Amino acid sequence: MQQYSNSTKPKPAPSHQMDSPSVNSSADVAVSEVAANKPAAMRLFSEIPTSRPTTPLLDTIDSPADLKPLSQEQLLTLADELREYLLYSAGQSGGHFGANLGVVELTVALHYLLDTPNDKLVWDVGHQAYAHKVLTGRRDRLSSIRSKQGLTAFPERQESEYDTFGVGHSSTSISAGLGMSLALRHLKSDAKVACVIGDGAMTGGMAFEALNDAVQQDADLLVVLNDNDMSISCSIGGFSRHLAMLWESGYQVDITAKGKPKLTHRPEMPLSERRARHSALRDIPKVADNLFKAIGFSYFGPFDGHDLPELLRVLERAKNVSGPVLVHVYTTKGKGFIPAEGDPVTYHAISKLPQPQQSNESTTAVQPAAPKKKYSQVFGEFLCDKAAVDNKLIAITPAMEEGSGMTEFAKQYPEQFYDVAIAEQHAVTLAAGMATLDVKPIVAIYSTFLQRGYDQLIHDVALQNLDVTFGIDRAGLVGEDGATHAGVFDLAYMRCVPNLVIATPKDENECYHLLNTCYEYKGATAVRYPRGTGPGVEITKPAQSYEVGKAVVEAVYQSQDSVSNSNPYKLALLAFGPMVATADAAAKALMADTDLEGPVEISVVNMRWVKPLDTQLIDELIAKGYTHIVTLEEHVVMGGAGSAVNEYLLNHISGMKQQLDIKNIGIADEFIAHGSHDEQLADCGLDVAGVTSQLRSLFTVQ
| Residues identified as active-site | 333, 424, 452
Rounded-to-integer distance, Cα 582 and Cα 575, Å: 9
Compute and round to an integer the Cα radius of gyration of the chain. Answer: 29
**572: β partners:** 603, 629
- d(CA 199, CA 204) in angstroms, rounded, equals 10
Which amino acid is it at 261? P
| CA-wise closest residue to 445 among 411, 483, 494 | 494
DSSP element (H, E) containing 360 = none
Burial of 88 (0-12, 13-18, 19+ CB in 10 A): buried
Closest listed residue to residue 454, CA positions, set 418, 497, 422, 412: 497
Length of the chain: 702
Greatest distance between any 2 Cα atoms in the chain: 101
553 beta partners: 605
Given a contact cutoff of 8 angstroms between Cβ atoms, the answer to whether 306 and 245 are in contact is no
What is the rounded CA–CA span in Å between residue 32 and residue 36? Answer: 8
Pairing between β-strand 349-350 and β-strand 95-96 as defined by DSSP bridges: antiparallel
Residue 504's H or E segment, with its range, is none
Eight-state DSSP code of residue 426: H
Burial group, residue 669, by CB count within 10 angstroms (0-12, 13-18, 19+) = exposed
Residues 137, 678, 447, 537, CA torsion sign: positive
